[in-house]
Chains A and B, each alone.
Chain A
Amino acid sequence: MPTYNPSAQRSERTNEAWLTDLRESGDTHAEALNDLRAIIQKGLPYALSRWLPSDNPLFQPLVEEVTQETLLRVLDQLDTFEGRSLFTTWVHKIAIRIALTELRRKRWRDASLDELTENEDAPPPRGLLADPQASPETSAERADMLVRVRRILEEELTPKQREALVLLGLQDIPIEEAAKRMKTNRNALYKLLHDARLRLKRRLALEDLTAQDLLTAFEQK
């Protein structure tokens, strides 16, 4: 079995050598940048394989764009590298963030990319209230429960939280893209949702309910 040995990565440079060489000027800098470019481009096909196969005509332009942007960002953020991972792992992380951000943007803004992600489309959510297997009594119980939950949601959620829930709940849109549409950022939107979840959880506790109780009621046959 192959073993993972950080000191024997493809690149011979240590973390310190990467930082030194990239901060140099002239040939040393150019050579380090070229090596880094190769490392990024070696990693991207694995990073993107779920979304964009490497034989897709859009793959190479995306890789070029992402590589360029990654190199710029790495040079810009060199001082923030803390050395707690391999330098190259840190660079792959940056490349992945840039690549997936771009793919999400394309996926949600450019309908022509839809065909590329057909197999990623989630099946439509189950319409639990319209379950043909449910007895009339169970359906009525579920309907009551849903009315109650909806009332609690209406009382507890802010308009922004509601908007986020609708965007993310109905469309399976990435958080990053939903954040752009709501003119905020991913971190702030995650926090908004986190606050919404905690608020709802506390309210359900006050009413002696748990999310599990409600789900069980919905899912009872």
Chain B
Amino acid sequence: MNLKSLFRNTFAPQQKLEDEVVLKFLRVLEKAREDELSCSEMYARLDIFVETEVETKDASKIPALIREHLDMCSDCCEEYEALLAVLENTKVK
């Protein structure tokens, strides 16, 4: 961390947390677990489990850890849905 950002982080006035921010945070808090996947771990598994889902046509086969990360992380969830759309639409008819 350089001096400028250290200064900014230390002395910047604290932003007020709006009600919406607090509530949005509370809504995901219940799902928080100690052993969550990181986005990189998620990305490493993405192709494998989406293939499995398309093959088995069964979203319930998605491991709980992955499902929970998808619930928490909108970016990973978008990538999951996009890959699912590609595989489902390009499979052999």
A127 / chain B contacts, CB cutoff of 8 Å? 19-20
Judging by beta carbons under 8 Å apart, are A153 and B47 in contact? no
Residue of B nearest to A199 (CB): B32
As a 0/1 sequence over residues 27 to 59 of chain B, the CB contacts with chain A under 8 angstroms (1 = contact) are 111101010101110010011101100110000
Distance in angstroms from B12 CB to nearest chain A CB is: 7
Asked if B26 is an interface residue, CB under 8 A from chain A, the answer is yes
CB < 8 Å: which of B21, B43, B86 contacts A47?
B86
Asked if B71 is an interface residue, CB under 8 A from chain A, the answer is no
Asked if B60 is an interface residue, CB under 8 A from chain A, the answer is no
Asked if A8 is an interface residue, CB under 8 A from chain B, the answer is yes
Distance in angstroms from A37 CB to nearest chain B CB is: 14
A44 / chain B contacts, CB cutoff of 8 Å? 86
- Knowing A85-B48, A175-B74 are in contact, say whether A211-B26 is a contact too (CB < 8 A): yes
Asked if A109 is an interface residue, CB under 8 A from chain B, the answer is no
CB < 8 Å: which of A92, A159, A187 contacts B38?
A187
- The size bracket of the interface on A is 35 or more
Judging by beta carbons under 8 Å apart, are B32 and A197 in contact? yes
Query: In the complex, what distance in Å separates the CA atom of A162 from the CA atom of B18?
Result: 11
Asked if A48 is an interface residue, CB under 8 A from chain B, the answer is yes
Judging by beta carbons under 8 Å apart, are A198 and B34 in contact? yes
Asked if A134 is an interface residue, CB under 8 A from chain B, the answer is no
| Most B C-beta atoms less than 10 A away, residue of A5, A89, A165, A196 | A89
Judging by beta carbons under 8 Å apart, are A215 and B26 in contact? yes
Judging by beta carbons under 8 Å apart, are B74 and A85 in contact? no
Asked if A26 is an interface residue, CB under 8 A from chain B, the answer is no
Judging by beta carbons under 8 Å apart, are A187 and B15 in contact? no
Judging by beta carbons under 8 Å apart, are A211 and B86 in contact? no
CB < 8 Å: which of B18, B46, B79, B92 contacts A9?
B92
Query: In the complex, what distance in Å separates the CA atom of A215 from the CA atom of B79?
Result: 29
Judging by beta carbons under 8 Å apart, are B22 and A146 in contact? yes
- Knowing A4-B55, A175-B75, A201-B32 are in contact, say whether A170-B18 is a contact too (CB < 8 A): yes
A selection of 22 A-B contacts at a CB cut-off of 8 Å is: A2-B92, A4-B55, A46-B82, A46-B88, A50-B81, A85-B51, A90-B47, A97-B79, A149-B22, A163-B15, A165-B21, A166-B15, A175-B39, A176-B75, A190-B39, A194-B36, A197-B32, A198-B34, A200-B29, A211-B29, A215-B23, A215-B26
